[in-house]
Structure 1
Amino acid sequence: MAANENPVTAPTLNAIPKIKSKSSYKRKLTLYGVLFALPWMLGILIFSAYPLVMSIYYSFTSYSILDAGQWVGIGNYKELMSDNTFRISIYNTLYYTLISVPLNIAVGVALALLLNTKIRGQGIYRTLFFIPSLVPAVATTIIWMWLLNPQFGLVNYWLEKIGISGPPWLGDEHWAKPSLILMSLWGVGQAIVIYLAGLQDIPQDYYDAADVDGASTARKLRHITLPLMTPVIFFNLIMGVIGTMQNFVLPYTLTNGTGAPAGSLMFYVMYLYQNAFLYLKMGYASAMAWILFLIVLVLTILIFVSQKRWVHYQGKES
């Protein structure tokens, strides 16, 4: 019996120090991991978490950087409700979002379908459509200011060639936002890349089965391509809404921060910037920031709720 106990007890006793050494090794790995991640964690706490928490507090104060500020409760929010420029900025931003985002999706999907066609020089065409999205926003704005100039811009020049009198574009309050929406199509190349990836992810078996059934190109587009592209469209819809609600660079560069003509290009983030850094009304600007957050949150939730009706995922029943 003693001879049988040695093989059992000996490995068990020898395993005890190994377990301790492994536990110590894991603690060291955890410690090293925390040490390496510490600069990042401190950066998040100092430059993101702390300003986020403080902005909530400042939104209930009259803080203006130059003084400590006084507690005003919901005074900033009440004042915003009666601020005419605030209402105009919300209208301009929602107008731009509700037209620009669907238009960019439609144009992006259409161009992606064309660029997915097997033709000679396919890579060159894809590159040409993507390059404009690499141009900095300020440079893009300057280019379009020249193109849309009502006196000597190329757009009105070519319109006159075909007998059309070009509009004043950015110089008219009725044409300013449509002009900005037109300019937004310049950067559709980034979305095209994502749409192309979605198109190439659709299994060829679906198209082969449709060919056997004698389906036309239009039917395959309607019943195969577009339904299986809806997850990609859904992603770009969310990102587009979030991005356009924060539109700042284009209108600010075009108007030098004034929102002219007649406030037609006064966007929400521009007005927030004015209150924060021109008028030094940081408390007021903080209240605007949190209202913007709530608007974006509500829009995002509505899109997520609606996606159950129109987004189709492969391998799942719609």
Structure 2
Amino acid sequence: MNSRDGRAAAVFLAPWVVGLVVITAGPMLMSLYLSFTDYNLLSNANFTGLENIQRMLDDDRLVKSLTVTMVYVFVSTPIQLAVALGLAVVLDRGLRGLALYRSIFYLPSLLGSSVAVAILWKRVFGVDGLFNQFLALFGIDGPGWISSPSTALSTLILLHVWTFGAPMVIFLAGLRQIPREFYEAAAVDGASKRQQFRRITLPLLSPIIFFNLVLGIIGAFQSFTQAFIVSDGRGGPSDSTLFFTLYLYQQGFQNFNMGYASALAWLLLIIIAAFTAINFWVSKYWVFYDN
């Protein structure tokens, strides 16, 4: 590469490097430093060493937020992927108006994390919401789904499952890559549709399932807007929707414990990295790549 090409490459790379340093790496390093301080946003940060880590060990609400988040992640993500895969298989059969169906099913993924949809969800599952109005037609007096500790989290899980469009589109693309000859040969050998799905579709689609699983878990851990809007920023009732990200927000921007919030942010990063690493390690036992 001559000097002219090198200068041109440097010019084109400069915006990315600046963005990496200013928007990503710089704030991350600052957050790492603040995680070892007592910082309230209004005064200088006071270095406290491992005090924030000790505080985590004695924080009951942190344990509650982790429990709620784990239930949300490991219930909603498998159900969402199962729904997405099921609809992708149906759409892969060559339905008329496939592009229209694909757009309709994908739309919730674009809106699912928005404030407007979270407000709508709150209206639908409120005491006088649309869902209870529907139940009233059959003489059923429905509860306040989002105001009851036993059902509030379930409504957020349902909202997350409803945003199945993105993994569905990826599944559909993967299904289109499986040669039809495999199914024809299996049918000739007398394999049923269920056997074809188990022996052909799932193994050949396993890299796509793995991809959607990793992204789904990461995205679920980062969920915030739904819980914030539905609970008015409190994580209620009785902390039943206190997501980890919502608790982090409360500590940083409501209680002004930015040092502790930074430590929580790094804890979340470690948790996501750990589960991602576990997924990659376990994948060698069930993900099959076409060599």
Matched, 1:56 2:32: yes
Q: Secondary structure in 2 aligned to 1:170?
A: coil
* Residues 118-137 of structure 1 aligned to structure 2 (within 5 Å): 118-135=94-111, 137=114
Q: Secondary structure in 2 aligned to 1:38?
A: helix
CA distance in 2, matches of 1:123, 1:300: 33
1:165 is displaced (CA, Å) by 4.2
Q: Deviations over 1:244-294 (max 9, x none)?
A: 111101101112211111111111111111111222211111110111111
Range that drifts further, 230-239 or 35-44:
35-44
Aligned residue number for residue 213 of structure 1? 189
Matched, 1:178 2:154: yes
Shift in alpha-carbon separation, 1:167–1:224, aligned structure 2, 3 A: farther
CA distance in 1, matches of 2:168, 2:108: 12
Aligned residue number for residue 158 of structure 1? 134
Matched, 1:142 2:125: no
In the alignment, residue 260 of structure 1 is paired with which amino acid? Answer: G
* TM-score normalized by the length of structure 2: 0.95
Range that drifts further, 228-237 or 62-71:
62-71
* Residues 60-139 of structure 1 aligned to structure 2 (within 5 Å): 60-135=36-111, 137-139=114-116
1:138 is displaced (CA, Å) by 1.1
Structure 1 runs of 4+ aligned residues shifted over 4 Å read: 162-165
Q: Is the 8 A contact 1:167 1:175 kept in 2?
A: no
What is the aligned-residue RMSD (CA, Å)?
Answer: 1.6
CA distance in 2, matches of 1:282, 1:293: 16
CA distance in 1, matches of 2:207, 2:141: 42
In the alignment, residue 181 of structure 1 is paired with which amino acid? Answer: I
Quick check: which has more Rg, 1 or 2? 1
Aligned residue number for residue 242 of structure 1? 218
Q: Deviations over 1:187-233 (max 9, x none)?
A: 11111100100110111121121122121111111110111111111
CA distance in 1, matches of 2:43, 2:124: 46
Q: Is the 8 A contact 2:72 2:220 kept in 1?
A: yes
Q: Secondary structure in 1 aligned to 2:173?
A: helix
Matched, 1:204 2:189: no
CA distance in 2, matches of 1:95, 1:70: 36
CA distance in 2, matches of 1:257, 1:84: 18
Aligned residue number for residue 204 of structure 2? 228
Q: Secondary structure in 1 aligned to 2:107?
A: helix
CA distance in 2, matches of 1:216, 1:119: 21
* Residues 261-276 of structure 1 aligned to structure 2 (within 5 Å): 261-276=237-252
More helix per residue: 1 or 2?
Answer: 1
In the alignment, residue 18 of structure 2 is paired with which amino acid? Answer: L
CA distance in 1, matches of 2:31, 2:120: 37
In the alignment, residue 49 of structure 2 is paired with which amino acid? Answer: G
Shift in alpha-carbon separation, 1:82–1:202, aligned structure 2, 3 A: same
Aligned residue number for residue 13 of structure 2? 37
Gaps of 5+ in 2: none
Query: Percent identity among equivalent residues?
Result: 39
Range that drifts further, 231-240 or 159-168:
159-168
CA distance in 1, matches of 2:147, 2:189: 55
Q: Is the 8 A contact 2:77 2:161 kept in 1?
A: no
Gaps of 5+ in 1: 1-22
* TM-score normalized by the length of structure 1: 0.87
Q: Is the 8 A contact 1:130 1:190 kept in 2?
A: yes
1:310 is displaced (CA, Å) by 1.1
1:61 is displaced (CA, Å) by 1.1
In the alignment, residue 78 of structure 2 is paired with which amino acid? Answer: P
Aligned residue number for residue 18 of structure 1? none
Aligned length: 290
